[in-house]
């Protein structure tokens, strides 16, 4: 069997899948208020109850993760904010790569490529926006001023539009795009089993692969 | 259909609050237990059980007593913020012009409560679960209790002893209100005003006031909040477009990339 390298540790994968579940429920129970023809599904407010149960998971899961893995969390969050010349290279190569499946055109990438980094940054920023605006609407619905509550709805909506659209892109690029098939090669295997083939690591995340094969501190997120 | 309205003449109102009772009676709303706060104004505020309420305003100056009364209930706006923000059309414009709603389909989101310039809609809300239902004046068009469909007046109008409330076609009532305001002006009420003639493109409850609206605690120039316009008019449609374009774009990408991948795989086969 081909040699494999660890890409995501178990706690990271558990956090990912808990948030997948929570976000999917939050997304769908929010969508029913966003698209008028679906509005009848929100009747009597039962979707709001589901939304809150999922929200509790969505808030608690990352908090527990950060408390138990604060070192990995700190460096992971830092990664989202470090941008350099290679990110420009990714942006230039991306159309050729994703439309023409030209894998040679892509400059070597770190543990997270630029696209993943953009999504990760959105998750952090809009995740915080979601939680703050959501908690205000939940807990202060009857005490906060009307103007504040309306502002919160507006911000919650903007975060929803941004992350909701990119949610499709994320799923598509991880498991549907022709380059991500068969599933055992890349993204799916890294999040499902935590491991990817050494060949995949070398061809898709060369800078990261170089670091771990030189025996530097293994950072697998 | 000819738009209908209620005309309320504050100068004829004796604040007997019979309208409050008639509303509760007809719509099956229970009375609320309240405390004596030293005012005839009771209950203190609108609620899911109180759709109409008289406001008592003391306007006395320099030893001359003054006491005016204002009807507080849904104003049935033409440009109704509540209808705009309602996510599933539970709030809607009745063919006769006023703002009706379907309580069965209400999601309890409470957006209407925050959007209304008159702070009229109220809800019962479980703060933990968020389960809620909105209530407000339906102008007696609640299903099964629809007085208007029967050709009757709303309960509050029917009961009003001094005829301070009238119900009918909007245009004749508007003319009557204008005439009444002119009469008040000629009697020395310089600030007399017909509220609802133009506000929010016309309210379906017109108020004859003997003073400026601010004195009565009414918003002088009520508006649909700017956040509502930005949210419903710009952000949300933009979201539909963005979400739709994303899905279409990904579909196109799949078609192009799949062909490219097949071509590349064939090429690699050949080179082997």
Residue B87: burial class (beta carbons within 10 Å; 0-12, 13-18, 19+)? buried
Buried b vs exposed e over A160-177: b needs ≥16 C-beta within 10 Å? bbbbbbbbebbebbbeeb
The pLDDT-based confidence of B271 (bands split at 50, 70, 90) is confident
Range of the domain at A199: 7-213
In this complex, the residue of B115, B129, B257 whose CB is nearest that of residue A150 is B115
The pLDDT-based confidence of A217 (bands split at 50, 70, 90) is low
Contacts of B111 in chain A (CB under 8 A): 150, 153
Which residues does residue B169 pair with via DSSP β-bridges, in sequence order? B4
Interaxial angle between packed helices A146-171 and B236-271, expressed in degrees from 0 to 180 and rounded to the nearest 10: 10
Q: Are strands B205-209 and B4-9 parallel, antiparallel or unpaired?
A: parallel
Q: What is the pLDDT of residue A216?
A: 57
In this complex, the residue of A36, A52, A151 whose CB is nearest that of residue B129 is A52
Angstroms from B57 CA to nearest CA on chain A:
24
Q: How many CB contacts within 8 angstroms connect chain A with chain B? A: 142
Q: Which of A54-58, A75-79, A195-199, B136-140 has the lowest mean pLDDT?
A: A195-199
Position A53 in a domain: yes
Nearest partner of A127 among A29, A58, A185, judged by Cα: A58
For residue A32, what are its two tokens? Answer: 């029913």
Q: Do B235 and A178 lie within an 8 Å CB cutoff?
A: no
Contacts of A151 in chain B (CB under 8 A): 227
Angstroms from A63 CA to nearest CA on chain B:
21
For residue A14, what are its two tokens? Answer: 């558990």
Angstroms from A215 CA to nearest CA on chain B:
34
What is the chain B residue with the closest CA to A55?
A: B129
Residues B205-233: tens digit of each pLDDT: 999 999 999 999 999 999 999 999 999 99
Q: Do A168 and B247 lie within an 8 Å CB cutoff?
A: yes
Position A219 in a domain: no
Q: What is the pLDDT of residue A18?
A: 97
Predicted-complex ipTM score: 0.90
Q: What CATH number does the domain containing A35 carry?
A: 1.20.950.20
The pLDDT-based confidence of A20 (bands split at 50, 70, 90) is very high
For residue A179, what are its two tokens? Answer: 């380059």
Q: Which of A108-117, A208-217, B178-187 has the lowest mean pLDDT?
A: A208-217
Q: Do A168 and B250 lie within an 8 Å CB cutoff?
A: yes
Is the per-residue pLDDT at A220 higher than 80? no
Q: What is the pLDDT of residue A180?
A: 84
Q: Do A48 and B129 lie within an 8 Å CB cutoff?
A: yes
Q: Do A36 and B87 lie within an 8 Å CB cutoff?
A: yes
Q: What is the pLDDT of residue B272?
A: 74
3-state secondary structure of B195: strand
Q: Are strands B193-195 and A195-197 parallel, antiparallel or unpaired?
A: unpaired
Position A150 in a domain: yes
In this complex, the residue of B109, B256, B261 whose CB is nearest that of residue A33 is B109
DSSP annotation of A176 reads I
3-state secondary structure of B123: strand
Question: Which of B125, B227, B252, B263 best probes binding to A when mutated, by most A CB atoms within 10 angstroms?
Answer: B227
Residue B20 CA: distances (Å) to CA of A142, B46, B159, B246: 25, 11, 10, 53
**B146 CB-near residues (< 8 Å, 6+ apart):** B140
Residue A104 CA: distances (Å) to CA of A108, A121, A184: 10, 26, 21
**A126 CB-near residues (< 8 Å, 6+ apart):** A159, A162, A163
Candidates 3.40.50.970, 3.30.230.70, 3.30.565.10, 3.30.70.20; CATH matching B1-223: 3.30.70.20
Contacts of B250 in chain A (CB under 8 A): 168-169, 172, 176
Q: Do A161 and B107 lie within an 8 Å CB cutoff?
A: no
Residues B106-123: tens digit of each pLDDT: 999 999 999 999 999 999
In sequence order, what E strands does chain A have?
Answer: 4-6, 195-197
Q: What is the pLDDT of residue B59?
A: 87
Q: What is the pLDDT of residue B51?
A: 98
The pLDDT-based confidence of A183 (bands split at 50, 70, 90) is confident
Q: What is the pLDDT of residue B131?
A: 93
Is the per-residue pLDDT at B262 higher than 80? yes
Buried b vs exposed e over A78-98: b needs ≥16 C-beta within 10 Å? ebbeeeeeebebbeebeeebb
Mean pLDDT across the stretch A185-197? 87
Distance CA B166, CA B154 (A): 9
Q: Are strands B165-169 and A195-197 parallel, antiparallel or unpaired?
A: unpaired
Q: Which of A184-193, B84-93, B139-148 has the lowest mean pLDDT?
A: A184-193
Do A167 and A185 touch, CB atoms closer than 8 A? no
Residue B159 CA: distances (Å) to CA of B8, B23, B25, B26: 13, 9, 11, 11
Mean pLDDT across the stretch B19-41? 94
Do A151 and A166 touch, CB atoms closer than 8 A? no
Nearest partner of B205 among B42, B9, B34, judged by Cα: B9
Total structural domains in chain A?
1
Q: Do B236 and A149 lie within an 8 Å CB cutoff?
A: no
Mean pLDDT across the stretch A51-72? 96
Distance CA B106, CA B24 (A): 21
Q: What is the pLDDT of residue A221?
A: 52
Q: Do A39 and B88 lie within an 8 Å CB cutoff?
A: yes
pTM for the full predicted model: 0.91
3-state secondary structure of B69: strand
Residues A79-95: tens digit of each pLDDT: 999 998 889 999 999 99
Q: Do A146 and B264 lie within an 8 Å CB cutoff?
A: no
3-state secondary structure of B96: coil
Q: What is the pLDDT of residue A110?
A: 86
The pLDDT-based confidence of A218 (bands split at 50, 70, 90) is low
Position A220 in a domain: no
Q: Between residues A199 and A24, which one has the greater pLDDT?
A: A24
Mean pLDDT across the stretch A176-193? 84
Q: What is the pLDDT of residue A104?
A: 84
Our CA dihedral for A159, A162, A168, A171, rounded to 10 degrees, sits at -70
Q: Do B246 and A44 lie within an 8 Å CB cutoff?
A: no
Residues B235-247: tens digit of each pLDDT: 999 999 999 999 9
Q: Give me Rg for the CA atoms of chain A.
A: 19
The domain spans of chain B are: 1-223, 225-272
Angstroms from B243 CA to nearest CA on chain A:
5
Distance CA B70, CA B56 (A): 7
Q: Do B105 and A40 lie within an 8 Å CB cutoff?
A: yes
Q: Between residues A45 and B238, which one has the greater pLDDT?
A: B238
In this complex, the residue of B115, B119, B129 whose CB is nearest that of residue A49 is B129
Mean pLDDT across the stretch A35-43? 90
Is the per-residue pLDDT at A185 higher than 80? no
Mean pLDDT across the stretch A150-160? 97
Q: Which residue has the tokens 């933990």?
A: B128
Q: What is the pLDDT of residue B34?
A: 94
On average, the pLDDT of chain B sits at 95
Our CA dihedral for B157, B159, B162, B168, rounded to 10 degrees, sits at 20
What is the chain B residue with the closest CA to A170?
A: B250
Mean pLDDT across the stretch A11-30? 96
Mean pLDDT across the stretch A172-196? 86
Q: Do A150 and B242 lie within an 8 Å CB cutoff?
A: no
């Amino acid at each position: 069997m081909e040699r494999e390298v660890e890409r995501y540790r178990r706690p990271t994968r558990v956090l990912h899948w808990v948030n997948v579940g929570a976000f999917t429920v939050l997304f769908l129970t929010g969508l029913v208020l966003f698209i008028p023809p679906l509005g009848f599904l929100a009747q009597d407010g039962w979707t709001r109850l589901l939304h809150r149960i999922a929200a509790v998971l969505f808030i608690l899961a990352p908090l527990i993760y950060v408390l138990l893995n604060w070192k990995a969390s700190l460096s992971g969050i830092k990664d989202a904010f470090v941008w350099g010349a290679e990110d420009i290279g990714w942006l230039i190569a991306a159309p050729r790569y994703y439309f023409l499946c030209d894998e040679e055109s892509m400059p070597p990438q770190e543990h997270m490529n630029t696209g993943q980094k953009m999504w990760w940054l959105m998750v952090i920023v809009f995740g915080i926006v979601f939680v703050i605006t959501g908690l205000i609407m939940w807990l202060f619905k009857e005490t906060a001023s009307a103007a504040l509550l309306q502002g919160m709805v507006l911000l919650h909506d903007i975060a929803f539009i941004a992350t909701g659209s990119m949610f499709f892109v994320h799923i598509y690029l991880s498991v549907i795009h022709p380059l991500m098939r068969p599933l055992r090669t890349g993204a799916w295997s890294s999040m499902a089993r935590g491991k990817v083939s050494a060949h995949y690591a070398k061809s898709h995340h060369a800078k990261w692969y170089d670091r771990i094969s030189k025996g530097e501190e293994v950072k697998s997120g | 259909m000819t738009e209908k309205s209620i005309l309320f003449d504050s100068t004829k109102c004796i604040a007997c609050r019979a309208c409050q009772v008639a509303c509760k009676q007809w719509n099956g709303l229970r009375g609320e237990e309240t405390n004596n706060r030293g005012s005839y104004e009771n209950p203190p505020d609108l609620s899911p059980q109180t759709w109409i309420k008289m406001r008592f305003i003391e306007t006395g100056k320099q030893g001359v007593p003054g006491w005016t009364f204002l009807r507080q209930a849904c104003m049935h706006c033409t440009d109704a913020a509540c209808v705009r923000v309602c996510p599933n059309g539970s709030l809607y414009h009745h063919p006769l012009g006023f703002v009706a709603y379907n309580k069965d389909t209400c999601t309890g989101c409470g957006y209407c409560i925050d959007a209304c310039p008159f702070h009229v809609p109220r809800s019962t809300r479980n703060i933990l679960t968020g389960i809620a239902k909105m209530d407000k004046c339906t102008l007696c068009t609640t299903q099964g209790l629809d007085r208007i469909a029967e050709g009757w007046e709303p309960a509050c109008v029917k009961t009003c002893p001094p005829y301070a409330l009238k119900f009918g076609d909007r245009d004749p009532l508007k003319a009557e209100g204008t005439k009444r305001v002119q009469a008040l002006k000629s009697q020395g009420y310089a600030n007399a005003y017909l509220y609802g003639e133009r506000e929010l493109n016309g309210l379906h409850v017109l108020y004859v006031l003997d003073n400026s609206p601010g004195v009565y605690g009414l918003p002088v120039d009520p508006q649909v909040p700017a956040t509502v316009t930005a949210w419903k008019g710009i952000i949300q449609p933009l979201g539909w477009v963005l979400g739709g374009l994303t899905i279409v774009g990904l579909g196109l990408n799949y078609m192009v990339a799949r062909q490219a991948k097949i071509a590349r795989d064939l090429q690699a086969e050949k080179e082997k």
